[in-house]
Amino acid sequence: MTDAWYSKTNETIIPGNPDRIKAKWDPLQYLNLAQYLKVFNEYPRDFNPRVHGPYCPWRYYGKRDLSFGDVKLADVPAWIARRDKTPMGVYQGGIRTFWKFYRAYMDNKKPNLIWYTQIFVVASLFNFIFYAIPDRKHYKWAKYH
């Protein structure tokens, strides 16, 4: 009949109608930031679900290449040249690194706090190298080493 504020058709009042559900699960969703992040929220171009199955963010879906440990020292510049150095490639590499870290230390049945200690150690090293050493240069016992 009418879709006024006091009367609705049967279709609209069926519970679970997604067109009428105006509430969001998380307050942050109201900002609708996904519209600005559409560039980052896409699958890589080489990903084909028919061949690769469900998407695993820790995997590289491009052409297979040697890992840095297996490449010889003479071929290192060529290896670096083959890498995808665009911003999108760098971003995807960073995402893959994070997901590899997550899968190595957090995504298992017996997690522990070694991921926390690793981050702690790296942060401590960064602080030591760039802030503590300059602060302690004043307290050196010898001038020339």
Partner 1 sequence: MFTKITRPLISNGSLPLSFVYRPLSISSVFFKNTPSKTDDKSLVEKKTDEKILRVEDSLKDLSSIKWRTEHNGKRLWPHDQWPERDLVNFPPYKLREAPNAVRWYCVPESWFKFFYDKTGVTGPYMFFYGLIIYGFSKEYIVLWYDFTEYLILAAAVITVVKKVGPMVGDIFRGWHQEEVDRYTSVVNNSKAMAGKMLHGYEESLERAKSVGKLGDARKDIINMALETTYRERMRTMYEAVKRRLDYQVALQNARKDFERTNMINWITSEVKKSITAKQEQDSLQACLNQLRQMASSSR
Q: Which residues of this chain interact with partner 1, rule CB under 8 A?
A: 1-6, 11, 18-19, 22, 48, 50-54, 56, 59, 69, 103-115, 117-118, 121, 133, 136, 139-142, 145
Tokens of 10: 């049967």
| Residue whose token pair is 């080489």 | 46
In angstroms, the Cα distances linking 57 to 19, 63, 129 are 31, 16, 33
CB of 127 to partner 1, least distance (A): 13
Nearer CB in complex with partner 1: 67/86: 67
Q: Which of 142, 47, 129, 37 is nearest to 91 (CA)?
A: 37
The string over 47-78, giving b where at least 16 C-beta atoms fall within 10 Å of a residue's C-beta and e elsewhere, is eeeeeeeeeeeeeebeeeeeeeeeeeeeeeee
Alpha helices in 53-86 (DSSP H): 76-82
Place of tokens 């997690």: 111
In terms of CB distance, is 97 or 118 closer to partner 1?
A: 118
Nearer residue to partner 1 within complex by CB, 18 or 87: 18
Q: Name the residue nearer to partner 1 (CB basis): 37 or 139.
A: 139
Of the pair 72, 109, the CB lying nearest partner 1 is at 109
